[in-house]
Amino acid sequence: MDTALATASDAPDGLRAIPRTGFRSRPMWQQVAIGTAVLAGGFFLYERPTTGLSAYWINLACLVLIYSIGTLGFNVAVGWSGQLALAHAGFYGLGAYTTAVLWKDHGWPFFLAMAAAGALAVVVGVLVSWPAMPLRGFYLAIATLALGQLFVQLFVQFDSITGGGSGKQVPRFRVPGTGRTEGLYYMCLGTAVVCFFIVWRLVGTRLGRTLKSVRDIEIAAQSVGVQPVKYRLIAFGVASGLAAIAGGLQSQYSTFVFPLQFGTALLVQFLTMMILGGVGSMTGSVIGAAFAVFVLEFFRKLKPEWESWQPMAFGGVLMLCVAALPGGLVSLPARLRGLRRRPAA
């Protein structure tokens, strides 16, 4: 895999350079090809009436984009900063409810409401995670898991705002000049492009390389003046904001939100999407999201009583991936190339 090394002068506080990976490390022709494929996909969906592409497939594409943003946020916290933070589903729900309340009840423009939900999640994420930052590993996971469950209980208790256990209906935002389904797709696609671009820029900057140094060589980073807690808080805030933005889009996709949507089952889905796609990989976030949507649709089309098997299916895939393909599907081409190059015994 080609990697571009940052120079020592670019390294934060004198840290030695850390390899840059992901989209920016690809050759220029690959970056252009990926960008062209995204634009071509957008044009293809825009021309749906003439191509015969059904609204069903466009809706699935919307769900993949929404989950991709959520998984990308999870990767910021876990993949690039090394925090096993499990409150992601709670912040996803916070974004969904905040967007719904501001958009429906207070008449805010939808994109402003979604941006406000992301900003609120960043602030809340930093404030509530501050006491938990000294924790590590299992203890941090338990603390953040409890935080996620606290969000679910708050969604139930504040029924005058959220609708409680009965949920809340959300009107659909219409993009001018497009139909209902196509408008949702362009809204999801545009938001995903912006979010992925921001994270792509973040990972390649001094801040992103510092996050990786804190993840990989924390003691060495501390010895040259880096404050790990500060950078973990930044990562947690960014991850919370991305989760909330994805949740805001989810409220538009489903046009209905209720507390149980954002429980442990959704957290398991995000874990599966991240690990199956590839931890710390932007491309893996999309691959993992596409797989999750496939599994969800597979069980939805089976008998209704089989739908309760979804969490078990995600858990089984998660265990298989950890055991057989720890680098995720994004690492599969490199592993296959390595097998081809291995000399015969």
pLDDT digits (tens, 9 = 90+) for 268-317: 889 889 988 888 888 889 888 988 888 777 777 766 666 667 777 777 77
Q: What is the model's pLDDT at position 114?
A: 95
Distances, alpha carbon 128 to alpha carbons 35, 90, 121, 125, 267, in Å: 37, 12, 10, 6, 19
Report H helices in 76-136.
88-100, 110-129
Q: Average pLDDT of 248-253?
A: 94
Domain residues of the chain, as ranges? 33-263
> Is 11's pLDDT higher than 70?
no
The answer to whether 20 touches 5, Cβ cutoff 8 Å, is yes
CA distance 192 to 73: 11
Q: Where are the beta strands (DSSP E) in the chain?
A: 4-5, 19-20, 168-169, 256-257
Q: pLDDT, tens digit, for every residue of 84-132?
A: 889 999 999 999 999 999 998 898 999 999 999 999 999 999 998 888 8
Structure tokens given for 314? 């995600």
Q: What is the rounded CA–CA span in Å between residue 184 and residue 189?
A: 9
What pTM value is reported for the model?
0.81
DSSP secondary structure code for residue 173 in this structure = P
